Amino acid sequence: MYLLIPGRHQLITQFQFTYLRDIIQQGLTAVKDINGNVLPAKTDKPTGIIFPVTSANHSNTRRNPLPFYLRAIMIEAMSAALDIPVYIYGIDDVGTMEHFAAYTLKRIKHDSEGQLDCQPDNTVVICSTPVLLQYEKLGFSILPAELKDRTNWICHTAMPWDIVEKIAYTPNWQDDETITSLMHPTSLKAWKKYHLGDKVQLLFRDTMISSDGDLTTTRDYNVYVRQMDEIAELKYEETARYIQPGRIGDIGCAVGSWLKLVSRDARFRESDLYGIEVSRHLYELCRQRKENGEFENPFVFFAQKNAVSGLVFEKNSMNTIHCSSLTHEIESYGSRNDLLHFIQNRYDELAPGGWWINRDVVGPADKEKWVYLKIRRDDGTNDDPYAKIEERHAFSDYLRGLSTHARFLRFVQDFRKEVNYRLDYEDVLIEGEPYTRLRLRDACEFLSRKDYTDNWTSEMHETFCYWDFEEWKQHLVEAGFSIHPFSHAFTNEWIVTNRWKPVASLWTMENDQLVPLPFPDTHMILVGVKNT
């Protein structure tokens, strides 16, 4: 008879160890199941314990801070004191799934090559969370462990995750006897040895990133990854001349496309390349690409870290740091202070003479100026710009069917609504022609986002035009950088020609006459140099 204990197992508690030890020593008939019934006599002696470690492919997030190997180490260390075989299997995260218990059992059977085929007649499940309902539905007997009341899910002692959360919010947690007495000594030793409390506290302080390690939960990563690969060559051509050999880091590396091109460049054959990505999904793709042999330079290393909450490289260690399309996300999903800290962190990480290359969108000069935007109203429907459509693909089709003006009305409603942004505008008639009067920055926010219909919900969180180029340079200087003369702002002519001119034009009023206004800068390459 096997004991099966599903869970994320970020640590092992003293209670769990004692509970298992007592069952092994006294037999299963000495404990009652979740309904208060004594188990049948045939189930008396357990012959092995199975630990399915769920979300084994996730780590470095608030929900799953520890990698699978460390969780397995703690289970293995604890089991040394139990006179019984212990089996550990990693179960990948598959999201919310009605049949997750069945999936777990099939994975165990597959990964054990059929040796462990867990069925109700040969396995008893130990579980204190609502997951037990799935195992119960499959016919398994359930031992409650910590669970006291299944009606309200009340426990009589701390669950492992309760202890993790206590550590997250307790400075000097190692000195807190309430915490340390609840942990099994082998887990306590591992948490101290690998400084896991520091990692957990850092992750829990990070308010920008979701509990599963993403900036946003509304992004279609298939679309996003394809877009990143499609423009990688352009980004590399624009930035390659600024790269200094040595230690080269790409923060916000997405799927590693830029680093892949650096690895092909003969100038950097002797350089070490470091990719930093906060999104768990994209980080896993980077690792997979490296395993696939897509990087010609073998000295390529990836890490899942948040460059806002602290340094991701050692101080004074980097010759080049590259960021592309990242800093506006920090402003969008974090705060102004987050962005200023990010800038300072990059300065601190660079070696003397090192360069930070920041390629990103930029706000227009004179961005608070009121202008007139003329946009087409005959290139789609104007019937209902505020329709509520939940299904993502249907919503995207609906947005593409709107006229440019109707899409602007939808933009006004959706743009930055979570921070209560107010986009002031008015529709006016000038010589019988309709125009929209608004600030130049808001016109540029709309024009830059109007065609992102596949990721509309995600894009509505983001702002591009918070600083113009001169403001950007000023903030870098305040952090200690000097600005390399190669730095420049520019207009993406492809976007202007293909996305803007066919449907929109900008105007300003001079002497009561409308005067055409050239489309402003859309992007920048800003190179900050650390001189000392």
Closest CA to 460 of 382, 399, 394: 399
Tell whether 216 is covered by a domain: no
Q: Is 331 in the same domain as 192?
A: no
382 in a structural domain: yes
Instruction: Check whether residue 199 and residue 230 sit in a common domain.
Output: no
- Does some domain include residue 215? no
- List per-residue pLDDT tens for the chain, 532 residues long: 999 999 999 999 999 999 999 999 999 988 899 999 888 766 678 999 999 999 998 887 788 889 999 999 999 999 999 989 999 999 998 877 889 999 999 999 999 999 999 999 999 999 999 999 999 999 999 999 999 999 899 999 999 999 999 999 999 999 999 999 999 999 999 999 999 999 898 888 765 555 555 545 444 555 556 666 677 888 899 999 999 999 999 999 999 999 999 999 999 988 999 999 988 788 888 988 898 899 998 889 999 888 887 899 999 999 999 999 999 999 999 999 999 999 999 999 999 999 999 999 999 999 999 999 999 999 999 999 999 999 999 999 999 999 999 999 999 999 999 999 999 999 999 999 999 999 999 999 999 999 999 989 989 999 999 999 999 999 999 999 999 999 999 999 999 999 999 999 999 999 999 999 999 999 999 999 999 7
Confidence (pTM): 0.67
Q: What is the pLDDT of residue 227?
A: 64
Q: Are 47 and 165 found together in one domain?
A: yes
DSSP line for 460-504: TT--S-SSBHHHHHHHHHHHTPEEPTT-EEE--HHHIIIIITTTE
d(CA 432, CA 410) in angstroms, rounded, equals 24
**Which CATH number covers residue 245?**
3.40.50.150
* Cβ–Cβ under 8 Å, residues 479 and 347: yes
How far apart are the C-alpha atoms of 423 and 426, rounded to whole Å?
Answer: 10
Q: What is the pLDDT of residue 131?
A: 95
Same domain, 166 and 188: yes
Report CA-CA distances (Å) from 515 to 60, 499, 511: 54, 21, 9
**213 within some domain:** no
Q: Which long-range contacts (CB under 8 A, 24 or more apart) does 201-205 make?
A: 201/167, 201/168, 201/169, 201/171, 202/309, 202/310, 203/60, 203/61, 203/62, 203/65, 203/168, 204/62, 204/165, 204/168, 204/169, 205/309
- Tell me: do 308 and 366 sit in the same domain: no
Residues 366 and 347 in one domain: no
Residues 201 and 241 in one domain: no
Cα(525)–Cα(487) distance, rounded to whole angstroms? 5
Q: Are 342 and 374 part of one and the same domain?
A: no
Check residue 222 and give its pLDDT: 56
- Asked if 87 and 155 sit in the same domain, the reply is yes
Q: Which of 180, 205, 230 is the last residue of a domain?
A: 205
Give the integer Cα–Cα distance in Å for 479 and 343. Answer: 7
Q: What is the CATH number of the domain that holds 38?
A: 3.40.50.620
Same domain, 200 and 266: no
How far from chain centre, in Å, is Cα 383?
A: 37
Whether residue 9 is found in the same domain as residue 119: yes
In DSSP notation, 15-64 reads HHHHHHHHHHHH-GGGSB-TTSPBPPGGG-S--EEEEEEETTT--SSSS-
**Domain with 455 in it:** 362-532
Separation of first and last alpha carbons in the chain: 67
Q: Is residue 212 part of a domain?
A: no
Look at residue 289 and tell me if it is in a domain: yes
One domain, residues 11 and 146: yes
Structure token pair of residue 53: 């470690």
The number of folded domains in the chain is 3
Q: Which of 354, 382, 399 is the last residue of a domain?
A: 354
Of 304, 330, 354, which marks where a domain is finished?
354
Residue 121 within a domain: yes
Q: Is residue 526 part of a domain?
A: yes
